[in-house]
Structure 1
Amino acid sequence: MARFPIEKDDQRVILAANILMIAVPMVAVSLRLLSRRIAKRAFHLSDYLMVAAVCVSASLSSLSITGVVRCGLGYDHMANILQVYGLEPISLLLKLLIGLQFTWVISLSLCKISILILYRKLFPTPFIHLASLATSALIATWAVATILAGCLICQPISKNWDLLMTDGYCGNQVLSFTITGAINLVTDIMVLVLPLPNLYKLQVPMQQRMVLVGVFSLGFLTCVVSAVRIHYLKSMDYTDLTLSMKHPNIFSGLEPSAAITLACIPLLRPLFRWSGGYSHTGTALGAKATSSYASKNSESSHAAKGGFDSRHIPLERVSKNTNSHDDGSSECRLRPEEDLYKHTAVATGRPPHSSSGSNGGSSMMIAESFVENDGGGDLEEQNKGQQRGDTQPHRSRAGITMRHEWDVTKQ
């Protein structure tokens, strides 16, 4: 098998670009998975699909590198290569071209579906749910159609790479690539626009809302790459693929690489949290709450003995609303992390005509306590049991049970 020397600038450009397009998205996905671990969040289906997408994207770049080394991509005109090296390198290049088309469409499809699944998790609304399903179905249909077009545009299929075959025919392959690229651009825009209305409606300050919209809009850079790729596809010459494939090859690899990398950026926030930590379910904790959460087991034991210190309850933010006075301040609503602890107040009393009371009077006993809620039984029943000591004589006593929750306001 032929092996071409790396001595032309076009060869070096193609090799350098494809090596970067392997390394950068792999680093981005690795950091995404690391962020999930730091935030103590379980891996989601969208993460697994993104890992699959980066593996297929790396295969695409590997095929391009093979084209440079084994097929003379970027080395010389195809006619000169045929004359010196024979048919084998060109036949292999035509096979690689089909493989490039397949890996390109598969990696992009996996990346987009991963993003759509993430949307369904971040924005659990009926519209996002249905729109994500419909867009995913469209992307899957486009992927299958692209693969079939790449195989069936020449009849018989072997005519795609057999230059000596005189029978059969081939359709307009460049036009086929251009049409599939245009549909891909449309689906890119659909995926990127889908969450923007929900982001804009978030009940957060305008500046923070614009930052979120900007981060999610980074994917429009992928649309730019896709448009540039379509432009270069139109100039691709099938009679001189070794030189005319340079730019289409680079941008075909750059598009999924950029899509994967940009899709990971919004999920890297845990890497840049300099204070605080995360609970085992992935909820962000403050710096003071982190130390208390780390010693949760000892505190739980202490709470069971009636000595729990409420100042060390891990708190999580429930909502944040702009102050109505528009003075720059904000109001934060907090609650104990995962409802680990509830502050309860229990009141019990005898009926007005109880035999143990005098002159029809009544007596009332009020007690407050911190009770650990481990999900094993009803919290109110636990409180009742604590007040009455779980003794049989008290079970007939009339009374009420109240549970109080507080909003904590940051002054």
Structure 2
Amino acid sequence: MDHQKLTTVTVPLAPREEVAQCIRTTIIFSVLVAVWTGLRLWSRRIRQLPINLPDIFFYVSVATFYAMVVCLFILLYMGGIGYHMDQLQKYHIARLTQCMLVIQALYGISMCGAKWSILWTLKNIFAVRSFQIISWIVIGFQAAWVVMTILIGLLVCRPIEKNWDPTAVGTCGDQIAAYTAVSIYNVVVDVVMCLMPIPMILKLQLKKPYKLALLGIFSIGAVSVAFATIRLLSFRQLDFNDFAYTVVDVVTWTYAEMGVVIMVACSPLLRPVFDKVFRRFMPSRFTKRSNQQSHGTLGSNVDPMDLRKPKSRVRNEFQTIGDSEESLVELGQLGRSQVVATSGKAEKNLYLQKEASDDSSYGAGILVQREITQTFK
């Protein structure tokens, strides 16, 4: 079926609901990303923490996300996304394809930045050698995914001009299979990142409500898995013979997924903001709860000599920390102290906070702590 050719350089928006939905989705997530980023900055200001490596990764991700937003409007008004290919002029197709290659590269960089920020945070939280090794492996796989994402766009058609000039001499590989493979890889990495903290949390000696709360916090990443899966499924309707018309849903879910991943990277780090809000609007309840949690905790008010007394037991499972703390910021300190008296001696098994390093000052909020055995005569 032949369609009327567009004759203007600037293309009017395609009169399709899918295009309107794409614009609405992009605007909504642009606003949400701005709000979540502002909350993250506010959280760090409350704790007076300096910018460090995970923050740099995160802000690179945010910057490239907004660069993607700019490219989307170039697609809409100069690339003719939403129209059939036979309605577009040759220069429309060139801008469409070139802009899509730029978006693909920005998407890979933005996704990698957000996920590296999450992985570095997890690495700082769980100071266990096996977890550190797994984290580095996943970081490496994520880096390989970025390279794959960028290179597929550049190499699937040879020469590269073949992407935007169908009349150019050359060949293209199976583009749908290539982009689907990249998306499957992305979903697998998301699933691995969601599963990584679960064994560590289950091993913590905590009451069930605390474990469920922590599992809930770290399971936020499942939302990004859902969006990545939906984006993957949207490739089924992609037809490169009518690329401009069929790619709209893929673009929509690409921006939605990217926005969700950035929000997921922020969400576990916003407790200082929520604490401040709760103190302001529910001061009596919040103060009462904080006082109840602070009683019986192992801190500076506990006399070390009391630990030598037989049959004494001090147990701390979830502690709300003050604003002056820098090493544990958002979620509170998890700890456990137990003193057992045996034959004139007391063995004290104390889980202490891992000493803050440059990275751990990031304040992820939970640390899997080292076990130190001391003997008192």
Give the TM-score normalised by the residue count of structure 1.
Answer: 0.65
In structure 1, distance between residues paired with 2:244 and 2:301:
58
In structure 2, distance between residues paired with 1:15 and 1:66:
12
| Residue of 235, 247, 250 corresponding to 1:248 | 250
Q: Is the aligned partner of 1:266 residue 2:268?
A: yes
Percent identical residues = 27
In structure 1, distance between residues paired with 2:187 and 2:38:
27
AA partner of residue 211 (structure 1): A
Match of 1:26 in 2: 34
AA partner of residue 172 (structure 1): D
Match of 1:58 in 2: 66
In structure 2, distance between residues paired with 1:59 and 1:235:
26
Q: Is the aligned partner of 1:3 residue 2:21?
A: no
Q: 1:60 to 1:317 in 2, by over 3 A?
A: farther
| Residue of 44, 51, 54 corresponding to 1:43 | 51
In structure 2, distance between residues paired with 1:233 and 1:213:
32
| Residue of 147, 151, 156 corresponding to 2:154 | 151
Match of 2:192 in 1: 190
- Note the aligned Cα RMSD (angstroms): 2.9
| Residue of 213, 216, 219 corresponding to 2:218 | 216
| Residue of 131, 135, 138 corresponding to 1:135 | 138
AA partner of residue 138 (structure 2): T
In structure 2, distance between residues paired with 1:162 and 1:10:
26
| Residue of 117, 126, 144 corresponding to 2:129 | 126
For 2:220, what is the secondary structure of its paired residue? helix
Match of 2:106 in 1: 103
Following superposition, the deviation at residue 44 of structure 1 comes to: 2.7
Following superposition, the deviation at residue 240 of structure 1 comes to: 1.4
In structure 2, distance between residues paired with 1:275 and 1:232:
40
Following superposition, the deviation at residue 275 of structure 1 comes to: 8.8
AA partner of residue 117 (structure 2): S
Match of 2:85 in 1: 78
Q: 1:61 to 1:317 in 2, by over 3 A?
A: farther
AA partner of residue 4 (structure 1): V
The answer to whether the Cα contact below 8 Å between 1:33 and 1:47 also exists between their aligned partners in 2 is: no
In structure 2, distance between residues paired with 1:317 and 1:15:
56
Deviations 1:294-340 (A, max 9, x none): xxxxxxxxxxxxxxxxxxxxx6799xxxxxxxxxxx944999988xx
The structure with the larger Rg is 1
Question: Structure 2 stretches of 5 or more lacking a match?
Answer: 1-7, 280-285, 291-298, 303-313, 326-377
Could you list the structure 1 runs, at least 4 aligned residues long, displaced by more than 3 angstroms after superposition. 274-277, 315-318, 330-338
Following superposition, the deviation at residue 164 of structure 1 comes to: 2.8
Q: Which has the higher contact order (CA 8 A, sep 6+)?
A: 2
Match of 1:17 in 2: 25
Deviations 1:188-226 (A, max 9, x none): 111111111112223332112211111211111111111
AA partner of residue 240 (structure 2): Y
Question: Structure 1 stretches of 5 or more lacking a match?
Answer: 278-285, 291-314, 319-329, 339-411
The answer to whether the Cα contact below 8 Å between 1:101 and 1:147 also exists between their aligned partners in 2 is: yes
AA partner of residue 147 (structure 2): V
For 1:273, what is the secondary structure of its paired residue? helix
Q: Is the aligned partner of 1:178 residue 2:180?
A: yes
Following superposition, the deviation at residue 186 of structure 1 comes to: 0.6
Q: 1:91 to 1:209 in 2, by over 3 A?
A: same
Q: 1:182 to 1:332 in 2, by over 3 A?
A: closer
In structure 1, distance between residues paired with 2:53 and 2:249:
34
In structure 2, distance between residues paired with 1:316 and 1:88:
70
Following superposition, the deviation at residue 65 of structure 1 comes to: 2.0
Structure that is richer in strand per residue: 1
For 2:133, what is the secondary structure of its paired residue? helix
In structure 2, distance between residues paired with 1:110 and 1:104:
10
For 1:263, what is the secondary structure of its paired residue? helix
Match of 1:386 in 2: none
In structure 2, distance between residues paired with 1:59 and 1:317:
51
Size of the aligned set, in residue pairs, is 289
| Residue of 165, 180, 183 corresponding to 1:162 | 165
For 2:219, what is the secondary structure of its paired residue? helix
Deviations 1:329-355 (A, max 9, x none): x944999988xxxxxxxxxxxxxxxxx
Following superposition, the deviation at residue 7 of structure 1 comes to: 6.2
